[in-house]
Amino acid sequence: MFSKIGLAISFSPTGKALVKESLRLQQIFNSRLALIHIGERNSESETLLFQTIDEAGADRNNLEIIWGEGDPATAIIKAGKEAGIDLLVVGALEKEKMLKFYFGSVARKIMREFPASSLILKSPSLEPVPFKKFFISADYSLRCEKTIRAAFQFALKENAQEFTIIRDFYMPGLTAAIGDNKTYDEISALIDQMKYDEEEKMKLFIQELNLKGLEIKIVCMYGKEGWEDSNYARTNEADIFAVTGPEKKMGFLDRLFTHEIEFSFETLPANLLIIK
């Protein structure tokens, strides 16, 4: 599934925990592991990096170390692409300060621009445990089909306890379309019927994927697209929230006039799995 995992590592307080999390992922996916560090390579930086690796219990001879220089996000993306990384692990704050979010922190830039899949960990642990609750943002596209399949295989390897498909949808101008003479109860009943119809469609979509080995729950919600599903994952304490990566490079306007996926980027609802 993921043949080569990369870890973007710095000398932050979470560095050792990120190495431990990556080692666990390497084991469950039977993957190669590469550590990417951006900064000047000298005796001091080598000592600090090797100390982090050793304290995490990693075998230096069983991993690749990639050094780079320049703008951290740009250099990590370039190094990961050149190394053939198909899952990049990155640590990130749950919520960035406003200016960092709009103008691009390292983690948020990687989320938007890394060409392969990435796993954004908001609270890496020194004693990592399997992810048990998977929530997936879904639509009916072929790209989302890939996301669901990848998340499902991940969940199987973790012996997950929950696997929930979330479909949020919105119809602009619904009230105007059905007329001003409808009561609140009538509008609510109409929305309930729309949710039921969406659930039936999603059941058929999932059935075609022929996924076996885990019970799949489907939740359909009417409301702001991109916000409803991430909020549901947050309130239900998901371990992994999986989304389909953006099809095109996302820019400043996607943040200013919030694009659906940006709700999850702005405030991480859980550890974020971005499938591309």
Domains and CATH numbers, the chain: 1-128 (3.40.50.620), 130-276 (3.40.50.620)
Q: What is the pLDDT of residue 256?
A: 39
Per-residue pLDDT tens over the stretch 135-148: 999 999 999 999 99
User: Is pLDDT of 105 > 90?
Assistant: no
Burial label, 32 (beta-carbon count in 10 A; 0-12, 13-18, 19+): middle
76-87 pLDDT, tens digit each:
999 999 999 999
Mean pLDDT value of segment 222-234 = 92
Element containing residue 222 per DSSP (H, E):
strand 217-222
Angle made by CA atoms 90, 154, 81, in degrees to the nearest 5: 40
pTM of the model: 0.89
Average pLDDT of the segment spanning 220-225: 90
On the question of pLDDT at 262 being above 50, the answer is: yes
Dihedral of CA 10/13/14/19: which sign?
Answer: positive
Percent of the chain with pLDDT over 70: 88
Burial of 69 (0-12, 13-18, 19+ CB in 10 A): exposed
Q: Are 182 and 125 in contact (CB under 8 A)?
A: no
- Quick one: which of 117, 24, 89, 23 has its CA closest to 62? 23
Reply yes or no on whether the pLDDT at 257 is more than 90. no
Tens of pLDDT, residues 146-197? 999 999 999 999 999 999 999 998 876 665 555 566 677 877 888 899 999 9
